[in-house]
Amino acid sequence: MEIIVYGLIQNIMNLFIKENKMGTRATVKFFEKFYNDKNKIKTYFLGGVYVQMDGYIEGLGKDIKDILKDKELINGICGQGIETSFNGMRCLGAYVIGKLKGDNIGNVYLTDKKDCQQYNYEIYNIPYNIPDNKTIRREIQICIKNSSNKILYKGLLNNMPETDDENEIKRLYDMETGRIKITKLINENNI
């Protein structure tokens, strides 16, 4: 009888954990993209964190989007505040890590570039090849990958999905891929 009850309790707990997606590990990494002196885009890893719980898109992904939504990257501070802007990717990364960590012990830990978990969020800037880019407003981009390094979404953070529904993620990713292609054509043809 005790074995049956114990087995039943284990099954219920496993269903609860699976249904509520608890213990879903993730990483959040910050990268800065820039043009080098040979006019090639280079990517520099700034840092990252490992998040122990709720790493799925409806959890951590939504938290990241809420923290960064409608904010932009700037180069130089001219009266802007943290409610609208970040002075580059280093400022953005420090802010996000602070918000995710809060005053809590555990759950959020520093990690390295190679760490790969169930969900992996890569946050970066769109590089501009303009000599005086101090006045350029830069949008924030995000790439979400699974543990197999498959891209689930890549595009503007403000357009990021807030659901784990595969069809919705694919729809938004396809839309974002189309927007990127159109923007590239416009830029290449000086339209």
pLDDT tens-digit profile, the chain (191 residues): 555 555 555 555 444 444 454 589 999 999 998 888 888 889 999 999 999 999 999 999 999 999 998 888 887 776 666 677 888 899 999 999 999 999 999 999 999 999 999 999 999 998 776 555 544 557 899 999 999 999 999 988 888 888 777 777 777 777 766 666 665 566 566 66
Phi and psi angles of residue 61, each rounded to the nearest 5 degrees, phi first: -55, -45
Helix (H) or strand (E) holding 169: helix 166-188
Q: Where are the alpha helices (DSSP H) in 40-117?
A: 62-68, 89-101
Confidence at residue 130, expressed as pLDDT on a 0 to 100 scale: 59
Closest CA to 54 of 28, 80, 91, 82: 28
146 token code pair: 């699974």
